[in-house]
Amino acid sequence: MKKIELYDTTLRDGAQSEDISFSVEDKLRILHKLDEFGIHYIEGGWPGSNPRDAEFFKKAAKVRLKNAKLTAFGSTHRASKKVHQDPSIKELLASKTEVLTIFGKTWDFHAREALRVSLQTNLDLIYNTVTYLNKKVPQVIFDAEHFFDGYKANPEYAMKTLEAAVSAGAYCLVLCDTNGGTMPGEVGSIVKKVVGAFKTPVGIHAHNDAECGVANSIIAVQAGASHVQGTINGLGERCGNANLVSVIPNLKLKLNNSCVTSNKLKKLKDVSRFVSEIANIRPLKRQPFIGDSAFAHKGGIHVSAILRHPETYEHIRPEQVGNYQRVLVSDLSGKSNIIRKIKDFNLKVDPDSPKVLDIVKQLKELENQGFQFEGAEASLELLIKKSFGMHRKFFDLIGFRVIDSKRQEGATPISEATIMLKIKDKLEHTASDGNGPVNALDNALRKALEKFYPQLKEVSLIDYKVRVLAAGEGTSSQVRVLIESGDGKHKWGTVGVSENIIEASWQALVDSIEYKLLRG
């Protein structure tokens, strides 16, 4: 069984997608999720390119990863500066990661026209940078930018760039199809030649501009590559990167390569949905392996066949990737997922109880209303606890009012919330302002509760996202609110759905507080 290293660049390449903007907290949450899943290398960003990535690496330096190695990404040093004087190289080292990934030009056209240096100078830039960094960190990965286009234009020079990286001590040579237009047959042929020419491990970094990102990654492995880069859900600039959500099960289940364990593979759908929710994008229903429609069957011969022998119309068992079979005419699905969540939450309940089917039914109804529990597992845990009688109410709402007022043109609106609660047979009536209606409501709620439940002082609202669910209905559309909260030790997500954004926010805020109080 061949071992394949998985290198995720969702936090860097994926963040370059149109309409994607990860906060530092978003990136930290995804970092934890990918580490738990078993990714070997997680590229956190380019520390010299923007303040957000620099801040991320400061916080990530305090994170203890269980499986992954965090990497920082950057370029070869500038021709106008010596490597040790280049500010971008200093920023890379300041990230304090044990692995650095350096990209260099391998296409003679780019060396001459983009860098405007001689071909020999470009080789020197690669050699000098990798040599210098190799003395500073345990591993340096060389990303051979535009390698396939460079090889087709000038194979001799493209190979010289790899030789420069190898002689400087590069740990791995990653061949990049940067423009995403190389065909699988070409990738296979070129990778085979590179693997035959070097003892250094060879990797693949494919883009999806010709819809070949996954195919090119797979054929590169078949040609001898042992390192695969990509992003979760294929996020990335232009048409995206190779989709690891498709690459990983193909490597594991189809080619029998060792990349993640079978148990970790069962978390694949969860990882995909988690990243979609954090990125605030709608999951693709027909995404291979983990999409809701990937194992959905509707009527007639198909349903009759798969109920007796699933392999008649399913290329793998959906449970292997954390998905489930759906029979659309009777909507039989979901019980195994709930049982698995019960185990994940360490709840001491009978997984064979009829209440599990009741929970499945509730989830179906809530999903029809627009609820989504990926990224909001605290709300899911509360729902399960309520069904099994493990939940208790800590307060009752008598009512609240939120006022937004704008005193004059150009002035910042003022938000104020008033709330009345019944807590332990006592009425609590209080008010608070905030930098927006939701913040004001959150402040008023905490103000009323903290004297009874002082542990809520530990809780802070980390992130707040809103998604409009029904297109074309304008301001009357339903919205989904996703809130991330934390107490310094743990982080959790909650969700609310309503046509009224304040009501949706209230649902998510209440779940967040109840989750904390139940945890103690």
Write the pLDDT tens digit of every residue in 87-96. 999 999 999 9
Residues 29-48, mean pLDDT to the nearest whole number: 96
Dihedral angle sign, alpha carbons of residues 35, 37, 41, 45: negative
Structural tokens at position 220: 């590169």
pLDDT (tens digit, 9 = 90+) per residue, 202-219? 999 999 999 999 999 999
Yes or no: say if 53 and 88 are a contact pair by the CB < 8 Å rule.
Answer: no
Alpha carbons 519 and 492: distance in angstroms, whole number: 11
Chain-wide mean pLDDT for the chain?
A: 92
Comparing CA positions, the residue from 325, 292, 288, 331 lying closest to residue 307 is: 325
- Contact between 98 and 65 under an 8 Å Cβ cutoff? The reply is no
Give me the mean pLDDT over the 299-314 stretch.
76
Q: What is the largest CA-CA distance in the chain?
A: 82
Helix axes 24-37, 51-60, angle to 10 degrees: 50
Residue 309 or 402, more confident: 402
Q: Which of 151-160, 195-204, 320-329, 383-392 has the lowest mean pLDDT?
A: 320-329
Write the DSSP string, 196-229: HH-SS-EEEEEB-TTS-HHHHHHHHHHTT--EEE
The alpha helices in 292-409, defined as continuous H runs, are 300-308, 335-344, 355-369, 377-387
Average pLDDT, integer, range 481-499: 93
Is the per-residue pLDDT at 485 higher than 60?
yes
What's the pLDDT score for residue 332? 40
* pLDDT, position 330: 36
Reading across the β-sheet that carries 460-468, which strands appear in turn?
460-468, 479-486, 491-498
- Between residues 330 and 119, the one the model is more confident about: 119
Say if residue 474's pLDDT is above 70: no
Across-strand partners of 397? 421
d(CA 215, CA 226): 15
Domain residues of the chain, as ranges? 5-260, 350-391+459-520, 395-452
Tell me the three-class secondary structure of 117-145, residue by residue: CCHHHHHHHHHHHHHHHHCCCCEEEEEEE
Mean pLDDT of 488-492: 89
In whole angstroms, give the CA distance from residue 15 to residue 17.
Answer: 5
Q: Which pLDDT score is estimated for 85? A: 95
Is residue 104 classed exposed, middle or buried when 0-12, 13-18 and 19+ CB atoms within 10 A define those classes? buried
Q: With 90 as the cut, is the pLDDT of residue 512 above it? A: yes
Q: Classify burial at 306, counting beta carbons within 10 Å of its beta carbon; exposed 0-12, middle 13-18, buried 19 or more.
A: middle
Q: Following CA atoms 366, 371, 373, 374 in sequence, which dihedral angle do they give, to the nearest 10 degrees?
A: 140
Query: Are residues 355 and 391 in contact, defined by beta-carbon separation less than 8 angstroms?
Result: no
What integer pLDDT is reported at residue 472 of this predicted model?
53
Strands 227-230, 202-206: parallel, antiparallel or unpaired by DSSP? parallel
Q: How many CA atoms lie within 13 A of 263 on its CB side?
A: 3
pLDDT at 331: 40
Tokens of 11: 């936090």
State the amino acid at position 229 in one-letter form: Q
Give me 397's structure tokens: 């709402």
| Model confidence at 72: pLDDT above 70 | yes
> What pLDDT, on a 0 to 100 scale, did the predictor assign at position 374?
75
Model pLDDT, residue 327:
66
Asked if residue 372 has pLDDT above 60, the reply is yes
- Estimate the crossing angle of helix 87-94 against helix 51-60, to 10 degrees: 30
Average pLDDT over residues 4-11: 98
Compute the average pLDDT of residues 362-387: 88
pLDDT of 159 above 60: yes
**Predicted pLDDT of residue 329:** 40
Task: Quickly count: other Cβ atoms within 10 Å of residue 437's Cβ.
Answer: 18
φ/ψ (deg, to 5) at 318:
-60, -30
The mean per-residue pLDDT over the stretch 131-143 comes to 98
The whole-number average pLDDT for the span 176-198 is: 98
Judge whether residue 271 has pLDDT over 80.
yes
Cα dihedral sign for 484, 492, 372, 274? positive
| Of residues 343, 318, 345, 320, the one with CA closest to residue 333 | 318
Domains 5-260 and 395-452 share a fold: no
Average pLDDT over residues 384-393: 93
The CATH label, of 3.40.50.620, 1.10.40.50, 3.30.160.740, 3.20.20.20, for the domain at 395-452 is 3.30.160.740
State pLDDT tens for residues 316-361: 999 999 998 876 543 444 676 788 788 888 998 888 899 988 988 8
pLDDT given for residue 298 in this prediction:
67
Topology given in CATH for the domain delimited by 350-391+459-520: Double Stranded RNA Binding Domain (3.30.160)
Give the residues across from 120 on adjacent strands: none
Helix (H) or strand (E) holding 19: none
The DSSP 8-state label assigned to residue 332 in this structure reads B
Structural contact between residues 209 and 146, judged by C-beta atoms closer than 8 angstroms: no
Q: Which fold has domain 5-260?
A: TIM Barrel (3.20.20)
Count, residues in the chain = 520
pLDDT above 70 as % of the chain: 96
DSSP strand pairing (139-145 vs 172-177):
parallel
What is the distance between the alpha carbons of residues 377 and 373, in angstroms, rounded to a whole number?
6
Token output for 271: 């990882």
